[in-house]
Every structure is written in C-alpha cells, then in structure tokens.
Amino acid sequence: MGGNNSDIKIWNDFRNGESYALSHIYYKHVSLLFRYGKKFSQNDELIKDSIQDLFFDLIRTRQNLCQTDNIKYYLFVAFRRKLVKNIKTHNLSLDPQSEFLFEANIVYSIEQEIIDKEVLTRREKLVRKTLKELSPKQREILFYRFTCDFEYEQICEIMSLKYDSARKLVFRALSSLKRCLSDTDIFLLFIKFLPRKYFS
C-alpha cells in the first residue's frame, strides 16, 4: 500500500524516542500538512494549532502508536481528524445554531497546488476553470491520488468511501477533465500535479 522501508525505520525510531526521527518527520511533512489544512480552512492559526496538537499527541503517545510504512498517510489521517474536530468546535463556539455537514464546506482547490503564478497563461486559465467545475469531492480525491500518491485503500479510509466508489470518483473526475481539456492541456495539468517519481 505504497509503504517503504525507510518510513518503517524512521517511524520505529520515533516510537523508540530517537530525537532525529521527530525532527525528520516534522520538517519533511509540516509544509504539506499546512497546505492540506488550507483546503479545509483559511484560518492559519487554527491550522497551525492543529498541527502542533497533532505532534504533541504523537510525542505524548509515541510508545503506544501503531506501526506504519507510510508516515505521510498516517499523519494525514490523524491530522484530518484533529482539524475537523477543531473546526467543528470553533464553528459551534461562534454560532451554536449553524449546524451543517462539514464535508459540504471543504474548500478544495487543486489549482492552488498546481498553478502558483501571478499571471496565468490562457492555457493555465483554462485548466484552472476546468478544475473549478469539478465537485469538491472530485478535487479532493484527485489531490489524494496524484499529489499525495495514496493508494485507493488509503483514500477510502480518509474519505469514508467504498473501494469501487473511490475508483469511480477518480474515473469520473478524469473523464470530466478530458472532456474539457485537450491532450496538451491534460499534460500541462499532470506534469505539475503528479509526484516527481512518475518522471524519474
């Protein structure tokens, strides 16, 4: 499921109290966790606090943590759970009457991940417009599948989906992109979107 021996060693060293392992895990993943958090909330302080809470809990309970061969996936699952809880608590404290489904309010915008320029070319504008036409869940699952390189089983756990539903969601999202974009535009999208390992 996308794991590797390096992650196994580093995670086990962290569980055993090796200080280098904590620093490695934190500095390798903190920026991605923050960008991930921005997809759920624009409250930077809430995101930073949630990341701090996550690592505090990891340190406090590290001797009891489960093994993993994919640290990024482990952190994403734990961070998403903590951030969702913090956002719900924050919303309820502001307005107890404003009950709504959290999923409907996720601000997913993969275009922010793949297009980071002040002036967009005509082609980049088309890619951005097309991505915005995808549903939030379609943008979310493409982010997990291609930016994070998660397996379908991992995506299903994060998004609470069945395996077949996850595959269909990716297929429909890609089909929507192909209907609106040329092969060249699709290439432009994915050369910036896919993990580097696909081009090594």
Closest CA to 79 of 26, 44, 36: 36
pLDDT score recorded for residue 60: 92
100 within a domain of the structure (yes/no): no
Q: Are 85 and 23 found together in one domain?
A: yes
Cβ–Cβ under 8 Å, residues 39 and 186: no
Tell me the C-alpha to C-alpha distance, in Å, between residue 96 and each of 31, 40, 74, 92, 166: 32, 20, 32, 5, 33
pLDDT score recorded for residue 25: 94
Instruction: Say if residue 50's pLDDT is above 90.
Output: yes
Tally the domains of the chain. Answer: 2
140 within a domain of the structure (yes/no): yes
Instruction: Say if residue 70's pLDDT is above 80.
Output: yes
Residue predicted with more confidence, 173 or 191: 173
Residue predicted with more confidence, 128 or 27: 27
130 within a domain of the structure (yes/no): yes
173 within a domain of the structure (yes/no): yes
31 is in which domain, residue-wise?
5-94
163 within a domain of the structure (yes/no): yes
Q: Are 114 and 64 found together in one domain?
A: no
pLDDT score recorded for residue 84: 84
Q: Are 144 and 191 found together in one domain?
A: yes
Instruction: Say if residue 55's pLDDT is above 90.
Output: yes
CA quadruple 31, 60, 90, 132: dihedral, nearest 10: 30
For 80-112, write each residue's pLDDT tens digit: 889 888 888 876 333 333 333 344 344 555 555
Provide the whole-model pTM.
0.66
Q: Are 64 and 122 found together in one domain?
A: no
Query: Which run of H or E residues covers position 193?
Result: helix 183-193
Q: Are 192 and 112 found together in one domain?
A: yes
Instruction: Say if residue 185's pLDDT is above 90.
Output: no
Region 68-80 average pLDDT: 92
Closest CA to 15 of 68, 90, 83: 68
Tell me the C-alpha to C-alpha distance, in Å, between residue 3 and each of 50, 95, 101, 145, 168: 25, 42, 32, 15, 24
What tokens does 97 get?
């009457």
